Structure 1
Amino acid sequence: MELLWIAGLALLAVGAGIALDRWLLTRSLKSAREQARKILAEAEAQAQAYQQEHLEKAQEALRRERQAFEQEQAEARKALQQAQERLAERQEALNRRTFRVNEREKTLAKAAEAIEALRREADANFRQAEALHQQAQALFESLRRQQEALAQRETEVNRLQEELTAKQAELDRTLEEQLRRLEQIAGMSRQEAKEALMAQLVEEAKLEAASMIKEIRDEARLKANREARKIILTAIQRTAASHAIENTVSVVNIQSDEMKGRIIGREGRNIRAFEAATGVEVIVDDTPEAVILSAFNPIRREIARLALTKLIQDGRIHPARIEEVVEKATAEIEEEIMETGERTVIDLNLHGIHPELIRLIGRMRYRTSYGQNLLAHSIETARIASLIAAELGLDADKARRAGLLHDIGKVVEEEIDRPHALVGMELCRKYREDPEVCNAVGAHHDEIEMTTLIAPIVQAADAISGARPGARREALEAYIKRLEKLEALAASFPGVERVYAIQAGREVRVIVNHSLVSDAQAEQLALDISKKIQSEMQYPGQIKVTVIREVRSVAYAK
């Protein structure tokens, strides 16, 4: 029992020791934890204080950096704004300089075109001067030969004069004797007989002079016919220059004047693009609801007219659209040219003509010659030549073909400093036309010799078509004044009773008093009237002067 009791106490003592140890351990652990919490709280407080201190320093540094950055940004923005302003000023100055350069280039281009035109005109004048120099040399040589012949005739005249002097002395003696006899027979004095004889001799001399003048004029007309034709053609071509303005402009109507600003475009870019694409000068002036297109090339002018009309109808006018519309208008005109040429060839019943010649025939529609449409003139010449050839029993098809192609050299696109007849002949040879047709085309203005019977027929048909009344345009007022002046000039001569200008002023019929003007004097009167018309009037072609002397004998049977 005691052992159990001792064992129980021992166990109790051991349990109490363990409990005490546990209590002590728990108390020390609690104390350690409490101390650890205090240390941790102090560490956190120190960390927060350290963090707060450094955070304030960082914020202050960040604020200073931000202020410095914002100041740098403001200065950079200010510098950038100043640079942009300077760049804008430079861009504006560059735009103004570009505009001035464009205007100067345009002015220089126009000046270059004018200089080129003057150069071509100077070249033409130089060639004409050379031709005139050659003609002068030929005339000088002819004059020298005439002077030699005149010297020979003068020697012959001196010899005849000596013989005439001898015969005159013999005639004086015979005349003296005859005068005495006449005085005895006629009962007239010598002075009275001399006056009557002189009057008779003067009248006979006038008649003989008029007859000689007629013979000389007829002979000169036969020799000078070819040269006169060339001179007349040259004169006609020169006088046609004053009417060029009528055939070098086209007018495009617009709905309102506001459209003019759209046609010009901003700083003139639309009008410059249009002129560059078409090669036509556009004139926008004070003419109400109209824009004028000016160019010597009628096909370019027609393309420009069609393109501008389409642009106005469409309303979209800018450089890209202008180029597109001009290309379409060019294609349409080319197609229309081919259709016109083919239709003309079919209407004249011609076959085997080269397509390039057909295209050139279509281009004639847009060309005029002294106010006469070239295609209409060529068709008319072809029909007239065909009729003449048929009446003479020649090949009417060749004549019609040559008549249609005789002015083909006028519509070539290249600038050629040669007569259009020779250019047309070369084109016909190039595209294998018949040699007779080629000769007729080249010889219709006498540039080459006529070797076939078709050539003079085409020349005559060309003259008939161009010379018929009304074929070539002339202002009505000028036409009436020319007729009035023509009749007044012819009526100013003595012995003229009535004057009639007929055939649109190409012929003058002069009726004279038969008792005042003889037949020989009528010839001289026609020559005098023609000379006065030549010296005081300007007219195309030639004017035929016809003097009519009529004698009417009337009797009545009762």
Structure 2
Amino acid sequence: MEDAIVIFAIASISGIVGFIISKKINNASFDIYLEQAKAKAKVIELEAENLLKDARISAKKEFEIEFRESKRLIEKKEREINYHLELELDNIKKDKLSTLESKTKIESLRKGLEVQEKDYQKKLDKIIKVLENSSGLTKEEAKEIMIDLVKDESRDVTASIFRKVYKEAQKNSRKEVQNILSHAVTRYAGEFAAERLTNNISLKDEETKGKIIGKEGRNIKTLEMCLGVDIIIGDIPNTITVSSFNLYRRAIATKVIEELIEDGRIQPARIEEVYARLKSEFDAGILKEGENTILELGIKKMHPELIELVGRLRYRASYGQNALAHTLEVSNLAGLIASQLGGDTVMARRAGLLHDIGKALTHEMKGSHVDIGADLCKKLGEPEEVINAIYAHHGHEEANSIESAAVCAADALSAARPGARREVLESFLKRVEEIEEIANSNIGVVNA
């Protein structure tokens, strides 16, 4: 019994001692971990302070750079403004000097006329007195006779002066017009674009011609039927020719055939698939072409229908001259001429851009391109200057503004430029169109 009590006491004491030792060990570990955590926190705090310091330095540098750049731009703008102000002040001073000189001349002429008037009045009084004394006429009768004589003489003198001034004005105006036109033409350096009737497509090898023709000619028949063009397989090595007077069809056909050749799969179903996709892309490209054109000319607002028609002009030709190229040439020249004459440059460009807009619809609507274009522009709310320019550039009515007159002059310049137009080609195209219309009017003809 006593042994059991001793053993129990020893065990209890051992447990208590173990617990105390374990607690001390745990407390020591906790202190170590706490110190380590504090050290890590200190390191993180220092790193954060360093990062913040670096960020502040970087932000300060960026701010200083931006500040210097802004200051430089402001100073540059100030210099430009001061330069333009100085120019304006110089012009104003010159205008004032010119005005003062003109006023001085006018005042001198006025005084001279007053002196002459007094001299004439004195002479007139003397003559009237002589007439009264010698002819027995009353003062009023003598005055009427002298007034009639002076009127006749004045009329002759005035007519002579008018003829002289008119001839001088004609001479000076002719020189001024020549200067304005030569200035406009030399300032505008437009691209020249003449249209042909055919496009040549290069082939990889002669075997490709056989693929294009297809078994029993199926491929070439599908191509011509679908694309509305003639495909000529000639003797020129590795080359086929796409022929059509319609620029739009020919452009699509060329692109379709080139893609089919590149792909290698040439068969009726594939031809129709490629044609449908590319035609959709071309239609979208027409609107983009119109938008780019008005952007290039600085025209801000225009009806979407007119913008699309401007793009269509890219695929129209007149006398062998590309319609859009001609329109751009007229628009730019009209703007330059109008600016020289003190007119509205943007309005002149707008009128020049739309003066031949009816040509985009002549293959769809009956009537002249002038009437078609003018009616459409009236319907879509274009300004009177544009309508007048459309009518006036073919002499349907007189130009009633500087902008309209500028368009007429620009159109004549563009058309008269050597090599700009080919009358023979245009006559041929007209005949082909008429033949096509006759063929399409027959029952059973799908596409001529």
Normalising to structure 1: TM-score of the pair? 0.39
| Structure with more contact order per residue of length (Cα contacts < 8 Å, sep ≥ 6) | 2
Normalising to structure 2: TM-score of the pair? 0.48
Larger Rg: 1
